[in-house]
Amino acid sequence: MEVSADRTETAPASITQTTDDRWCQWWTHDRLGGDQTAERRSSAALAPIRDRLLDRARLRPDDVVLDIGTGTGFVGFGALERLGEGGRVIFNDLSSGLIDECVRRSEQLGVADRCSFAVADAQDLAGVESESANAATARSVLCYIADPAAAFAAIARVLRPGGRLSLFETIHVRQLADGAPTIFGYVVPDLDKAAADIEAWLRTWTEVGSDQSAFDEIDLLVWADMAGLADASVDVDLRFTTNAGVLTDWSAFLASRPRPWGPTIGETISGALDAEDMTTVEDRLRPMVERGDVPRRIRSFAYLTAVKAA
């Protein structure tokens, strides 16, 4: 049966409403405020990144592929579609709720016999056997963990000799918006003070700093080298893009939570601003959100490949 690699990364309401798994709740609901239309737009925008990531993994028909931080399997099921009948994918995630969703999807697609599942932290991949994978993929995983170097060491452990790593990360430290202050990615003229107040309030939210996004492509190369991986190289894709605006419903926009450990946008606005500034921000920002009117931004994407020496 053909695997649909373009399935969106959402889960049924039953999962998002009953789980106490913070990662599952964020990934399947809070990230985009539960807006299913926005989820479909997001998946469509991410599909070219997934395809390039898999191209660079140089998959072979009988490979065993480990998809690290799989979420609901967007990359993993895409890999399975490229493999032959003898190929297999190991779906890994820290969240048991997300792994449960991957199990459900594998059964729905009739490919469960070609899948295995591992609930494990990317920093140790506990439960994934050493030298068990021909290839490993990871999309936007390092920015959420405390010790990326440990993750590279774990990847080196589970790859077979000659195994390939294909990894994607957004290089957040290189993202620019023409130097203008932004409010949740939107450049709103004459609201510099509100933008500064929001930024200052977010710095007081202790959990916002839990992500580890302050790295660049040089760090990726160093971590790969420290792990003993060979032939490491990084392609940096630096471009103007409007990689936002998928949320055009104001209520969903306010309910969305940009970071797993952070507040919603609505909580941020009410916490950072007084009543007058809140009204001004809504009057100015809401029409931009509803139009999907996001300015072009310079964004930097890094694609790393490396090989475990034979």
φ/ψ of 306, rounded to 5, equals -160, 165
CATH 3.40.30.10 fits domain 13-308 = no
Q: Which two tokens stand for residue 58?
A: 């140089």
Q: For the chain, how big is the Rg over CA atoms in Å?
A: 20
**Considering only CA atoms, which of 101, 120, 50, 100 is closest in space to residue 80?**
50
Asked if residue 234 lies in contact with residue 303, where contact means CB atoms within 8 angstroms, the answer is yes
Residue with tokens 């790593």: 165
pTM: 0.88
Print pLDDT tens along the chain (310 aa).
Answer: 344 444 444 433 333 333 458 899 999 999 999 999 999 999 998 999 999 999 999 999 999 999 999 999 999 999 999 999 999 999 999 999 999 999 999 999 999 999 999 999 999 999 899 999 999 999 999 999 999 999 999 999 999 999 999 999 999 887 654 566 789 888 888 899 999 999 999 988 765 445 567 899 999 999 999 999 999 999 999 887 655 578 999 999 999 999 888 899 999 999 999 999 999 999 999 999 999 887 667 788 999 999 999 8
The residue ranges of every structural domain in the chain are 13-308
Q: Which two tokens stand for residue 193?
A: 């003070």
d(CA 77, CA 134): 16
Q: How far is CA 220 from CA 155, 170, 243, 244, in A?
A: 13, 11, 23, 25
Q: Helix, strand or coil for residue 222? A: helix
